[in-house]
């Protein structure tokens, strides 16, 4: 998955079988306390993804062990850092009231569906221009009873959506293309969060004028030896928002 600056995919150091207890244990290593029902939903999503993938080729990752590491854990790793950033920039009440986020170029529902499962108070709008990928996300929404997920089949440039507090992406595009294609959908003082493999130093130097790099957070994903980073951006001049500090430093 070179697109979006994610490195080539490799198998995890070991190949554990997917189970709710294993997922709960690994999530705790990342500071997440997921309930049994949430773990069951995440595993249900993984199984549905594997089933659809055999026919529709939604993702290059197909084996259970790699779905666990490269999809589920990879996406769950951003929940804690995102929460800390949201509290810092939007205030402590965001944890109680929830928020609306947009998953730009969601593909097979990543990271939007894992985020919506892990944080039921968040409402995710999953946007993709490919019909079969939206059909899969819609089926996952129905089968997993995800009332906090909306699926939108559209190009980002023409999607008819309201302003979003948070826009996330995974293996989607360069940072410049990401912000240029979604800027009209970001509310004033909202945040962009881009999931990357290696630290995208060159991409960060090519950001459009007026876009501010807040922080680049090094993520630690259990069982995964590859580099993962989360890049947080905002429009410059948001004077009411405090300066950022890396919560993982």
Q: What is the CATH number of the domain that holds 193?
A: 3.40.50.150
Residue 95 has what pLDDT? 65
Inside any domain, residue 140? yes
The answer to pTM > 0.75 is yes
Question: Is residue 38 one of the residues assigned to a domain?
Answer: no
Contacts 24+ apart (CB under 8 A), 126-131: 126/150, 126/151, 126/152, 127/102, 127/103, 127/152, 127/154, 127/156, 127/159, 127/161, 128/152, 128/153, 129/105, 129/153, 129/154, 129/155, 129/156
> pLDDT tens-digit profile of 183-235?
999 998 899 999 999 999 999 999 999 999 999 999 999 999 999 999 999 99
User: Does 59 map to a domain?
Assistant: no
Query: Residue 194's domain spans which residues?
Result: 71-235
Separation of alpha carbons 212 and 83, rounded Å: 19
**Does 167 reside within a domain?**
yes
pLDDT in tens, 122-137: 999 999 999 999 999 9
Number of domains in the chain: 1
Residue 210 lies in a domain: yes
Number of Cβ atoms within 10 Å of the Cβ of 32: 18
For the chain, residues with pLDDT lower than 70 are 1-17, 62, 95, 237-249
C-alpha span between 223 and 18 (Å, rounded)? 13
The answer to whether residue 11 is domain-embedded is no
The 3-state secondary structure of the chain reads CCHHHCCCCCCCCCCCCCCHHHHHHHHHHCCCCCCHHHHHHHHHHHHHHHHHHHHHCCCCCCCHHHHHHHHHHHHHCCHHHHHHHHHHHHCCCHHHHCEEEEEECCCCCCCHHHHHHHCCCEEEEEEECCHHHHHHHHHHHHHCCCCCEEEEECCCCCCCCCCEEEEEEECCCCHHHHHHHHHHHEEEEEEEEEEECCCCHHHHCCCCCCEEEEEEEECCCCCCCCCCEEEEEEECCCCCCCCCCCCCC
Assess if residue 139 is contained within a domain. Answer: yes
* Residue 22 domain-assigned (yes or no): no
How does strand 122-128 pair with strand 149-153?
A: parallel
Strand-strand pairing, 99-104 and 164-170: parallel
pLDDT value for 57: 85
Model pLDDT, residue 61: 78
């Amino acid at each position: 998955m070179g697109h979006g600056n994610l490195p080539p995919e490799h198998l995890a150091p070991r190949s554990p079988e997917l189970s709710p207890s294993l997922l709960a244990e690994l999530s705790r290593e990342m500071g997440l306390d997921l309930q049994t029902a949430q773990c069951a939903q995440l595993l249900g999503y993984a199984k549905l993804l594997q089933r659809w993938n055999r026919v529709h080729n939604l993702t290059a990752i197909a084996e259970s062990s790699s779905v666990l590491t490269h999809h589920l854990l990879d996406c769950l790793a951003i929940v804690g850092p995102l929460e800390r950033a949201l509290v810092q920039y939007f205030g402590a009440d965001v944890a109680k009231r929830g928020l609306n986020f947009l998953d730009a170029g969601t593909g097979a529902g990543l990271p939007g569906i894992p985020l919506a499962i892990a944080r039921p108070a968040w409402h995710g709008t999953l946007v993709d221009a490919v019909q079969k990928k939206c059909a899969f996300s819609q089926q996952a929404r129905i089968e997993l009873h995800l009332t906090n997920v909306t699926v939108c089949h559209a190009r980002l440039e023409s999607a008819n959506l309201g302003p979003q507090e948070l826009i996330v992406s995974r293996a989607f595009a360069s940072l410049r293309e990401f912000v240029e294609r979604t800027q009209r959908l970001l509310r004033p003082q909202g945040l962009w969060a881009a999931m990357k493999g290696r630290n995208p130093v060159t991409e960060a130097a090519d950001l459009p004028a007026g876009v501010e790099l807040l922080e680049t957070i090094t993520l630690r994903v259990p069982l995964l030896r590859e580099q993962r980073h989360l890049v947080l951006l905002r429009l410059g001049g948001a004077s009411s928002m405090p300066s950022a500090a890396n919560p993982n430093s």
